[in-house]
Amino acid sequence: MSGVEPFDAVDVIRAQRDRTGLSEDALRWMVDAYTREYVTDAQMSAFAMAVLLNGMERSEIRVLTDAMIATGERMSFAGLGKTTVDKHSTGGVGDKITLPLAPLVASFGVAVPQLSGRGLGHTGGTLDKLESIPGWRAALSNDEMSAQLRDVGAVICAAGSGLAPADKRLYALRDVTGTVEAVPLIASSIMSKKIAEGTASLVLDVKVGSGAFMHDLGKARELAQTMVALGADSGVSTTALITDMDTPLGRAVGNANEVRESVEVLAGGGPADVVELTVALAREMLTLAGRPDVDVEAALRDGRAMDVWRAMIRAQDGDPDAALPTPRETHTVTAAASGTLTRLDAWDVGIAAWRLGAGRARPQDDVAHAAGVQLHVKPGDTVVAGQPIATLGADDASRIPRALEALENAWTIAAPERSRHDNRPLAARSIVLERITA
């Protein structure tokens, strides 16, 4: 754009602050001008805070999402000859579901283009987990990605910088201005990238609980409904599952240990909650892809999903048979009393794994692939005093005391209690709390 700008950032901020009406053109300009670095970080911070405090109409969120998409490239898999379906999780502790899920769905002849990220803070990134496999490469060109989708069916790789660049700047700004939690901003951030990626359909895993962005079911529902509507408006068939993130998923939290657990699921075993969520999301994805009647569990039992996993890892130069790294130092924590494990807090376990080196404090940091927490019990299990609860692993022993501090109040051993979300007994409840459709 050259010459005089058509709007003034201060007017746009005031309109959002006072809710006096934000025109579509003004909103589009704000996003574009921020990406061009005409609108400053200070001005965008004020705007983001006004969005957090006042919310936005659905129509405004749609314009915001479109404006973010328009700042970058749009991919297309139209020439692939197979339908595409993707999954996105809002992020949780021990959330390795993408790893078994992508090959499982692809084993039914559907293409799964999974553009993923690295972790920041207490939730791990899918790419960090896969990079614990010797040789595995996250960066693929668009042509490599299309070829792998055609030949193998599943690809998990790094999102290039060309998709919704406005989101990259805005997300980094939100991270340091207390504005991450705004539903319009989360919804437009996630959906701009997924719509630009060009998938035909999308299943969202919206997490709720102590280890998630959303701590209460009402907010998680609002986020899920907003994103499902954005998908529908853009021609991407979208459904969402709202799932529990009060407790970590599975028994492994880290990187290499999460890959190991994913391979157990692909071999027909693995923890019940990881299998349950993998199968539930696979059913949703296959339904959207026009394959509602297939036997999902059979592909885990008979090795079809494992075959796709091995081909997917090899296609990206990884060795599926290589030994995964193990931590140099370990420390096991035991139960102080006997009873039932009624609570095992996802946030605390996520922080412990992060402090052990499984996550990064700054984007430029490396992760320790072997570091993490291995859980020996799950909520609902009976424990006796002295029984191992968790084993902490790190490459550097000096990290263990701070991780232990994070776990000081991480669990409760008492009489069985009920879920705060749906009042069902903890041991008997399903991980999927709600399903949201357009």
Has 88 been annotated as catalytic?
yes
Give me 175's structure tokens. Answer: 């991270």
Q: Cβ atoms within 10 A of the Cβ of 177, count?
A: 16
Task: Give the tokens for residue 87.
Answer: 């999954």
**Token pair in block for residue 362:** 């700054």
Q: Which long-range contacts (CB under 8 A, 24 or more apart) does 386-391 make?
A: 386/334, 386/335, 387/334, 387/335, 388/332, 388/333, 388/334, 388/335, 389/333, 389/334, 389/335, 389/341, 390/332, 390/333, 390/349, 391/330, 391/331, 391/332, 391/333
98 in contact with ligand URA (CB under 6 A): no
Residues in binding contact with ligand URA, number by CB under 6 A: 7
Q: Which stretch binds ligand URA (CB under 6 A): 59-67, 183-191, 201-209, 257-265?
A: 183-191
The answer to whether residue 189 forms part of the interface with ligand URA (CB under 6 A) is yes
Q: Minimum Å distance from CB 51 to ligand URA? A: 12
Q: Which of 33, 56, 68, 190 binds ligand URA (CB under 6 A)?
A: 190
Nearest CB to ligand URA, comparing residues 63 and 185: 185
**Length of the chain (residues):** 438
Q: Which stretch binds ligand URA (CB under 6 A): 33-41, 184-192, 354-362, 386-394?
A: 184-192
Q: Which listed range, 21-29, 186-194, 270-278, 286-294, lies at the site for ligand URA (CB under 6 A)?
A: 186-194
Q: With binding defined as CB under 6 A, does residue 90 bind ligand URA?
A: yes
Question: Is 205 annotated in the active site?
Answer: no
Q: Quick check: is 207 catalytic?
A: no
Which of 88, 168, 194, 343 does the annotation list as catalytic? 88
In angstroms, what is the minimal distance from the CB of 167 to ligand URA? 7
For 306, list phi and psi in degrees, rounded to 5.
Answer: -65, -40
Q: Does 186 bind ligand URA (CB under 6 A)?
A: yes
Residue 123 is a binding residue for ligand URA (CB under 6 A): no
In whole angstroms, the minimum distance from the beta carbon of 10 to ligand URA comes to: 25
Torsion angle of the four alpha carbons 143, 69, 163, 7, in this order, in degrees rounded to the nearest 10: 140
Residue-wise DSSP of 27-57: HHHHHHHHHTT-S-HHHHHHHHHHHHHH---
- Segment 142 to 171, residues that bind ligand URA, using CB under 6 A: 171
The answer to the question of residue 133 lying near ligand URA (CB under 6 A) is no
Are 273 and 375 spatial neighbours (Cβ–Cβ below 8 Å)? no
Instruction: Using CB positions, name the residue nearest to ligand URA.
Output: 189
237-244 and 201-208 strand pairing: parallel
Question: Looking at beta carbons only, is 116 or 340 nearer to ligand URA?
Answer: 116
In angstroms, what is the minimal distance from the CB of 66 to ligand URA? 17
Q: Is 236 near ligand URA (CB under 6 A)? A: no
Q: Which member of 167, 205, 244, 246 is catalytic?
A: 167
Q: Which one of 87, 122, 174, 399 is the catalytic residue?
A: 174
C-alpha neighbours within 13 Å on the C-beta side of residue 194: 29
Instruction: Report the residue number, 91 or 379, with the smaller CB distance to ligand URA.
Output: 91
- DSSP category for residue 120: -
Q: Is 167 a catalytic residue?
A: yes
Selecting among 45, 189, 192, 237, the annotated active-site residue is 189
CB of 188 to ligand URA, least distance (A): 8
Query: Residue 294 CB, nearest distance to ligand URA (Å)?
Result: 30
Name residues whose C-beta falls within 8 Å of residue 248's C-beta, 6 or more positions apart in sequence. 92, 93, 94, 211, 344, 346, 349, 350, 373, 375
Query: Shortest gap between Cβ of 192 and ligand URA (angstroms)?
Result: 9
Q: In the Cβ-directed half-sphere of 36, how many Cα atoms lie within 13 Å?
A: 13
Which of 7, 171 has the CB closer to ligand URA?
Answer: 171
Run of H or E including 85: strand 85-89
- Tell me how far apart the alpha carbons of residues 407 and 162 are, in angstroms, rounded to a whole number: 40
Q: Which neighbouring-strand residues pair with 432?
A: 243
Provide the binding-site residues for ligand URA, judged by CB under 6 A: 90-91, 171, 185-186, 189-190
Active site residues: 88, 167, 174, 189, 193
